[in-house]
Structure 1
Amino acid sequence: MMARATRRSVFISPFKGLRPTFQPPKSPSDLATGPGGRFLGLMSDTPEKSTFASRLGHNFLTGLFLLLPVGLTLYVVSVLLDLMGTFIQPAIKDGLVWLWTYAEQPAPDFTVGLYRQLVVISSALVMIFILVIVGYLSKRLFGKVLHRWFATALERIPGLGALYGTIRQMVDALSGRNKDTFRRVVMVEFPRPGMWSIAFVTHEQPTIFSEAIGKPVVNVFIPAAPAPTTGVILQVSPDEVRETKLTVGEALGLLMSFGAVVPKPASKE
């Protein structure tokens, strides 16, 4: 018993006379300046020193993001012109060969080098001219009649007519020519309650779906971002739709910009 008390006194004796003091927990700044601060300093919010390489990279990214919309727009236009010019390039090539022959000069090879670029540029110019003429005629009576006749003839072809009709309606809706396709911009709860998505009302009274469900519904198209040509179609009750003041063009711009381009309320006044 005496030995146990002696061991206990030996363990406690070094701590006699010490008053316990309360030390509040250290703040992150105190920890950073104390032991181990070198490691925590790497995780602090202090800005990094600006170096020539960092400034160069920042300027590069800034220029890239500024020119990226212009570059993508020109790329899409060039792809479309090249796609449509595929049917024009053989005729342009034959025309250039005829010009060289008419000038009594040996015709060069128009499939390589600068002569190939000459064919491509000439085809693009011809396609631009054709598109301008078609757009001009489409606003006149003769052009409207011709377009209606061509569309009717194409829609009568089995298989091809359905494909043409779908593509034409989609293009008319996105270009704003057919305002009845995307009637108004709304918001619906999708993909789960509490999460809202932009949607377009495409049909106010789809009777076939209302009869199947047993209550009035509307057709809404929920587009995907940044390509609003794809998405899902839902049949929802009219009271589950929330109206917005966005136009179709503003909603499309919002989608294609990943939600970055939000119209200001003042612009609606």
Structure 2
Amino acid sequence: MAALRKWLLTGLLVIVPGVITAWVLNWIVSTLDQTLQILPVAWHPDKLLGFHVPGFGVVLTLLILLVVGAVASNFAGRKLVQWGDAVVHRIPVVRSIYSSVKQVSDTLFSESGNAFRKAVLVQWPREGVWTVAFVTGAPNGEVAAYLRDEFVSVYVPTTPNPTGGYFVMLRKSDCVELDMSVDAALKYIVSMGVVAPADPTLVSHSK
């Protein structure tokens, strides 16, 4: 029985990562393939080739992003984007949703953004219990005026799904800045502490 249990666990360790990776990739490809619907039916790869080849939607999505990025990077494109933003901000309800999503996306994807750029160790959900979190910025406006002391905005992710979590504001002195990268911290959280990041002091000594 011990040998059977060992073989079963070994099989799971080999199979589960591959199956989950394949499922995630299949979901991404299938979702992006929906962008092919913007093309005329006669231009669909399935029609041209006579059979279905997954992944053309990924290529089309990348091309669209590259074209939009190239256009929006020049003077005329920036003016066009500003004009579009101005139009959307005149539409009730839509403007509140759009502005919120735009602020989040600007923070996450902008080269000058500071979201998820630093992993920290914080005491959560109570004193004496520690977890890894991410600094997303600093309070401002009325909130900063009320707090007065030096606080930072922190996102505390849940495990094993880091897309859910808690937004809290903590004193900067209560956050322990870590040397680990954001990617290493995310792996640590998703694996529920199984995949521990390498000790940076040991890595530096080995070089």
| C-alpha distance in structure 1 between counterparts of 2:189 and 2:24, whole Å | 18
Q: Which residue of 1 aligns with 2:24?
A: 76
Matched, 1:267 2:191: no
RMSD: 3.6
TM-score by length of 1: 0.57
Change in CA separation of 1:181 and 1:85 when aligned onto 2, cut-off 3 Å: same
Following the alignment from structure 1 to structure 2, what is the Cα–Cα distance between the partners of residues 148 and 78? 38
Alpha-carbon contact 2:106-2:113 (below 8 Å) kept: no
**In the alignment, what sits opposite 1:254?**
188
Amino acid at match of 1:267: V
Cα deviation for residue 222 of structure 1 reads 0.9
Shift of 1:150: 5.1
- Could you tell me whether the CA contact under 8 Å between 1:206 and 1:217 is conserved in 2? no
Post-superposition CA distance 1:66-108 (Å, at most 9, x none): 23223222222222222232342585754469769xxxxxxxx
* Mapped contact 1:138–1:147 kept (Cα < 8 A): no
Partner of 1:40: none
Following superposition of structure 1 onto structure 2, how do residues 140-151 of structure 1 map, counting pairs within 5 Å?
141-142=70-71, 144-145=73-74, 149=80
Query: Which of the numbers 84, 94, 100 marks the counterpart of 1:153?
Result: 84
The alignment-based identity, stated in percent, is 19
- Verify the 8 A CA contact 2:118 2:181 in the aligned structure 1: yes
- The CA distance in 1 between the partners of 2:61 and 2:196, in whole Å, is 32
- Confirm whether residue 235 of structure 1 aligns to residue 183 of structure 2: no
Residue 218 of structure 1: CA displacement?
Answer: 1.6
Alpha carbons 1:199, 1:222 under 8 Å: kept: yes
- Deviation by residue 1:160-189 (Cα, 9 ceiling, x = unmatched): 41353266357638xxx5651124211111
- Deviation string, structure 1 residues 127-151 (Cα, Å, up to 9, x no partner): 1322343465577x54634589558
SS at 2:128 equivalent: coil
Cα deviation, residue 190, structure 1: 0.9
1 or 2, which has the higher strand percentage? Answer: 2
Larger Rg computed on CA atoms? 1
Tell me, in whole angstroms, the C-alpha distance in 1 between the residues paired with 2:136 and 2:109.
13
Q: Which has the higher contact order (CA 8 A, sep 6+)?
A: 2
1:67 to 9, 15, 21: 15
Deviations 1:108-142 (A, max 9, x none): xxxxxxx7xx34x2xx3321322343465577x54
**CA pair 68-143 structure 1, distance change in 2 beyond 3 A:** farther
Distance 1:91 1:236 in 2: 49
Equivalent residue, structure 2, for 1:125? 55
Contact kept? 1:209, 1:235, Cα under 8 Å: no
Give the secondary structure class of the aligned counterpart of 2:180: coil
| Aligned residue number for residue 133 of structure 2 | 199
Cα deviation for residue 223 of structure 1 reads 1.1
Structure 2: 5+ residue stretches without partners: none
1:260 and 1:185 mapped to 2: Cα distance?
Answer: 18
Structure 2 contact 33–58 (Cα < 8 Å) conserved: no
What secondary structure is seen at the aligned counterpart in 2 of 1:188?
Answer: strand
The count of corresponding residues between Structure 1 and Structure 2 is 194
- The aligned counterpart of 2:119 is 185
Change (3 A) 1:153 1:71: farther
Preserved contact between residue 254 and residue 261 of structure 1 (Cα < 8 Å): yes
